[in-house]
Amino acid sequence: MNLVKLTESIVKSLVVDQEGVSVKEFPTEEENVILIQVMVSEDDMGRVIGKSGRTANAIRTLVQASSALNDNKYVKIDIDKF
């Protein structure tokens, strides 16, 4: 599965404003690194980050595990608000 689509489906399942979710992949200077930027509305930031960042870390773990099964690249996920 595409890592961007996987990230987007996970984040959309967590938020209230699903139309306000934007997930994009950006190129990095490092060869084996993928940068995924997740943008959500300000009201949904707490849902995506979670208490002490647990939800965000769980999202990163799931996407990294999927990457390890497919192309074995390191995934960095940046979560921000509009």
Amino acid 31: pLDDT: 87
% the chain with pLDDT above 70 = 99
pLDDT digits (tens, 9 = 90+) for 9-24: 999 999 999 999 999 9
Under DSSP, is residue 28 helix (H, G, I), strand (E, B) or coil?
coil
Give the mean model confidence (pLDDT) for residues 40-67.
Answer: 94
- For 81, the token pair is 């608000």
Question: Residue 35's beta-bridge partner residues?
Answer: 26, 76
CATH number of the structural domain spanning residue 49: 3.30.300.20
> Domain range holding 29?
3-81
Q: Is the pLDDT of residue 58 over 70?
A: yes
Amino acid 72: pLDDT: 84
The domain total for the chain is 1
Amino acid 1: pLDDT: 59
